[in-house]
Amino acid sequence: MSVIDHDLETRLRAARAELPELTVDPWFTESVRARAWRRTARLRAAGVAALVAAVVAGVAIPAGLLGGTGHKGSIVPAKTPAPLVDAVPWTYGGITVTWLPAGTVHVRDGNGGQGFPGPMSQVSMLLGYNESSYSSTFMRPDGKEASTIEVGVNWMPDLAAFGGNGDLKSVLGTGATETTVRGQQAFQTSGTVEGRYEGGLYWREGADGPLLGVSTRDVTPIDWAEIRGIAEGLRLDRDPGGVDPATVEQVKAAFSVVYGAGEETDEAWLAAVQDGAELIELAHRARDRYPQLVETLEISFSSMRRLSPTSVQLSYTISFIDDTVPAIKSMYASSSPNIRRSVGGSGSAVLVDGRWMVSRESYCAQLRQMGDKELVCS
């Protein structure tokens, strides 16, 4: 190899290394498959039309082209495709899908708004209670429709968090059209994104019931009869993350001991906090440094979810009056002093020896939010 050739090769290798990584849209395969199927269908239709025209015209057709066996010109499939197994019934997240179009297969399940970025996932993520949403994704990989379908439920939708009228119509926007599903007021969304059709049906089971949705993305126009058929066939069971009333009261009691007004006894505090014996000295220091906070501290609860048999996640709001807290001092230095401040939070409770307690992780995280470097644990 000459010096010139060697230098050229070196530059080409360097240039290749600098090229951006080639990425392919996750829907590329389905799109190509659908378009290939439609092209094949058109060619097949054209071939049949030509064959019919030839027969009508009296043109002799070789026997091999008429499907005769043993002829070296006949078409033989490479293999017999394995039959697809229908995905129904499919149960996940307390909801059962009882009907899907023939050939549909299950792809994945997701909790917390996970799944392909379709309308239901977007709604679930925005609702603020992601842990209460569940979705199942299905696909028909036959190349005919190349469609992906998502069925989802949010057991604790907080529609009021969006402002406006605090209803489903406000959440979905002005583009949603009103309809009915399962005898309930529902809304249909539709549109195109990057050349793909997408849309869905969304409704609540009762005025205060869970939010349900059936959404789809497709490279071909949506068959709304199919989407409605899926929606009408859904069967609700119960919220898998729901917390029984007895546990709710025990968790609230533990958090109220730690974040309620007044000074609880050490015995009560130790019974309410995981690893309380290791943390109680820190709690004493916090009480001594911020007595006004302790006297005015209040807690209200907004939601609670079971993560496991021994763990519960909850959302709450803590309020108090004490502008000497470093975080409050830096945040509200120029505002009116000595007014009640509210801080939203989330934490977890753990079951220890049959008793629900504020988890160590939650207590330390809430303590860090005060901004006092002398009050730190992990």
- Give the SS3 label for residue 358: strand
What integer pLDDT is reported at residue 28 of this predicted model?
38
Q: Contact at 8 Å (CB) between 238 and 94?
A: yes
Q: Are residues 253 and 323 in the same domain?
A: yes
Beta-carbon contacts of residue 47 (< 8 Å; ≥ 6 apart): none
CATH value at residue 335: 3.10.450.50
Q: Contact at 8 Å (CB) between 315 and 301?
A: yes
Q: Are residues 216 and 281 in the same domain?
A: no
Q: How many structural domains compose the chain?
A: 3
The total number of residues shown for the chain amounts to: 378
Q: Contact at 8 Å (CB) between 34 and 42?
A: no
Q: Write out the two tokens for 279.
A: 């943390």
Q: What is the pLDDT of residues 203-254, one digit of tens each?
A: 989 877 888 999 988 888 999 999 999 999 999 998 888 899 999 999 999 9
Q: Are residues 226 and 128 in the same domain?
A: yes
- Give the SS3 label for residue 119: helix
Q: What percent of the chain has pLDDT over 70?
A: 67
Give the domain-ending residue among 79, 107, 129: 79
Q: Are residues 130 and 226 in the same domain?
A: yes
Question: 353 or 172, which is more confident?
Answer: 353
**Which residue range(s) make up the domain with 275?**
245-368
Q: What is the pLDDT of residues 27-58, one digit of tens each?
A: 334 344 444 433 433 333 333 233 223 322 33
Q: Are residues 143 and 218 in the same domain?
A: yes
Whether 1 is in a domain gets the answer: no
Q: Are residues 196 and 112 in the same domain?
A: yes
Q: Are residues 224 and 108 in the same domain?
A: yes
